[in-house]
């Protein structure tokens, strides 16, 4: 995509409020060349002086998942810092999408991103958001992500209003998806199983995780 193409797309997005969300996603699918405009959309400002609306910004955020092999451009442009800020301070829709994009970075996710995701698991306002963070950490894998998952599992009083018992089975399954590299989590999984109340599938989730981890 040429600089002219980028400018035309940016102007089209800025001046087409009726289809802006759809066009934002299509634009960002073009790959790394679209990243400067995608980041511009996310900041809520653009070179034409028209602020992008909420739908455009949310579309641009979600579209980052389409960058595929070009995801390293996110890191080069320090877009991960912007995503982390959304996870910490965005509204619920932005936080969930930002969590998914960070998860799509895999092992390239920064330690700061992993810490933000681990913190989101303790959000006492949304079980759904905490589950998304759990899934993202499983996608990232590696020792820091495993430590974040285990850290929650070891805190029986974690989880705020919706509770440890709600999220613990999801964490067990997440550790199982990580596989043998999550062997350090086995003691925490066994301890969690002993706390099973019989009404949330925790014991079954732990058994499944142990089968996948201890192969």
Domains of the chain listed by start with CATH number: 1-72 (no CATH), 78-215 (1.25.10.10)
- pTM tops 0.85: no
CA dihedral sign, ordered 45, 84, 157, 213 = positive
pLDDT, tens digit, 9 for 90 and up, residues 23-78 = 666 666 666 667 777 777 777 666 666 666 777 777 777 777 766 555 655 555 56
What is the rounded CA–CA span in Å between residue 213 and residue 31?
36
pLDDT, tens digit, 9 for 90 and up, residues 99-123 = 988 898 888 888 999 999 999 988 7
What is the rounded CA–CA span in Å between residue 103 and residue 114?
9
- CA 75 centroid distance within chain: 15
Contact between 101 and 61 under an 8 Å Cβ cutoff? The reply is yes
pLDDT, tens digit, 9 for 90 and up, residues 4-13 = 566 666 666 6
What is the rounded CA–CA span in Å between residue 84 and residue 88?
6
The rounded percent of the chain whose pLDDT value lies above 90 is 31
Quickly state the pLDDT bin for 180 (edges 50, 70, 90).
Answer: very high
Contact between 145 and 110 under an 8 Å Cβ cutoff? The reply is no
């Amino acid at each position: 995509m040429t600089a002219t193409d980028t400018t035309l797309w940016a102007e089209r997005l800025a001046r087409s409020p009726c289809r802006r969300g759809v066009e934002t996603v299509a634009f960002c699918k073009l790959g790394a060349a679209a990243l400067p405009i995608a980041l511009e959309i996310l900041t809520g400002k653009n070179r034409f002086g028209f602020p992008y609306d909420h739908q455009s910004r949310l579309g641009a955020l979600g579209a980052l998942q389409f960058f595929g092999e070009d995801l390293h451009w996110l890191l080069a442009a320090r877009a991960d810092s912007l995503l982390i800020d959304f996870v910490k301070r965005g509204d619920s829709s932005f936080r969930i999408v930002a969590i998914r994009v960070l998860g799509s970075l895999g092992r390239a996710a920064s330690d700061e991103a992993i810490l933000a995701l681990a913190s989101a698991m303790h959000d006492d306002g949304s079980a759904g958001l905490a589950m998304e963070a759990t899934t993202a950490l499983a996608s990232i894998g590696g020792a820091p992500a495993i430590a974040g998952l285990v850290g929650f599992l070891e805190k029986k009083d974690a989880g705020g209003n919706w509770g440890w018992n709600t999220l613990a089975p999801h964490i067990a399954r997440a550790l199982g998806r990580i596989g043998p590299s999550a062997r350090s989590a086995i003691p925490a999984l066994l301890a969690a199983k002993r706390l099973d109340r019989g009404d949330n599938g925790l014991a079954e989730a732990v058994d499944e995780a142990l089968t996948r981890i201890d192969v």
